Amino acid sequence: MTTRPRILTGDTPTGPLHLGHYVGSVRRRVELQDTYDCYFIVANMHAYTTRADKPAEIRTHALEIVRDYLAMGIDPARSTIFLQTEVPAIAELTYFFAMLLPFNRVMRNPTLKDEIQVKGLGETYCFGFPLYAVGQTADILAFRAHAVPVGEDQIPHIELTREVARRFNQMYCGVSDQADDDDHESLGGVFAVPRADVGAVGRLVGTDGVNKMSKSLNNAIFITDTPKQVKKKLGKLYTGRQSPTEPGDTSNALFDYVRTFIPDADRVRELETAYATGADIGDGHIKVEVAEAISALLAPMQERRARYEGDDDAILDILRDGCRRANECAEETLALAKKAAHLHFFDRSLSYR
């Protein structure tokens, strides 16, 4: 294992990856591959929190997400891509960390509350649904990660993770409750207190113009979308503007897209000025320009992705190797945590075929 600082982040296989994932988290991961020891989790158990009745779909999405990673520039030679369910230390730590968190503290998490509302889970969600927030603390801490590249919605989860790390280190490793977060490891804590590393665009709005772009909300532009599909989806983006000569509001969703995807800063400023003054520029025209910029971004990704199309064995090889590396790290963490908490009785090792 290297001595570089570690990052852990990942995605739930509830569907294919979209532009929100790219600008919110994956682009940052690609940048960090050479300076951090990178672990990317396909959180397939978490997908069961809302889709336990669709196991085959979750499995397919898990493999597709790896294809999306490769398409977006994650390099399995430099980064470890793995499946949550093949790293048992994560499940063990989840159970353990659940003892360190008051029940009400977990339920107060605003991201959970939002998800319950936006996904219409009502009162019927399973016990495992709120447990996933605890599970996510284990995903991160199993790798003793220092940073977590994520979108804005994940900040409450990272805060929960920081609390677990502090509590564990204080309770079992003799770290003072006055200690600075950055000093926990050097003071003998098993866990670093990890920080959220939010991408340049922390929350990309969906093509509904209202909600966060999300796999589950039918408002996403996927990495695999053709230029025609991109154009069609953007065409539906509602701005409320009536005519090309009506001064427009450049804080609307369409202009979030302009600023995020049109690479030429001068052109962005030009469009902003024209729009704000109602200088005869229609929403439709801007949408076409944004759609072209997005398709230009996606074209090389789709080309890379095509190399892995239909070849599940190649994806499984990457995952097998990733799971092996992930377990090396997570098993070491688990042993350290169990020793600290007086739960270590025997040594063990895992292997994959």
Question: Which residue's CB is nearer to ligand ATP, number 74 or number 337?
Answer: 74
Q: Tell the smallest beta-carbon distance from residue 290 to ligand ATP (Å).
A: 16
Q: Tell the smallest beta-carbon distance from residue 204 to ligand ATP (Å).
A: 4
Q: Tell the smallest beta-carbon distance from residue 11 to ligand ATP (Å).
A: 4
Question: Which residue's CB is nearer to ligand ATP, number 165 or number 204?
Answer: 204
Beta strand residue intervals within 137-275, DSSP E: 147-150, 195-198
CB 18 within 8 A of CB 215: yes
Question: Which residue's CB is nearer to ligand ATP, number 213 or number 301?
Answer: 213
Using H for helix, E for strand and C for coil, what is the string for 100-122? CCCHHHHHCCHHHHHHHHHCCCC
Question: Which residue's CB is nearer to ligand ATP, number 30 or number 190?
Answer: 30
Question: Which residue's CB is nearer to ligand ATP, number 139 or number 331?
Answer: 139
Minimal CB distance to ligand ATP: which residue?
Answer: 24
Give the CA count within 13 Å in the CB-facing half-sphere of 238: 6
Q: Which amino acid is at 48?
A: Y
Question: Which residue's CB is nearer to ligand ATP, number 12 or number 84?
Answer: 12
Q: Tell the smallest beta-carbon distance from residue 34 to ligand ATP (Å).
A: 21
Q: Tell the smallest beta-carbon distance from residue 252 to ligand ATP (Å).
A: 16
Q: Tell the smallest beta-carbon distance from residue 322 to ligand ATP (Å).
A: 17
Name which of 87, 8, 42 is nearest 324 in CA terms. Answer: 87
CB 6 within 8 A of CB 36: yes
CA–centroid distance for 265 within its chain: 27
Query: CA 62, CA 58: separation in Å to the nearest integer?
Result: 6
CB 288 within 8 A of CB 231: yes
Q: Are strands 79-83 and 37-42 parallel, antiparallel or unpaired?
A: parallel
Binding site for ligand ATP (CB under 6 A): 11-12, 14, 20-21, 24-25, 150-151, 153-154, 203-204, 212-216
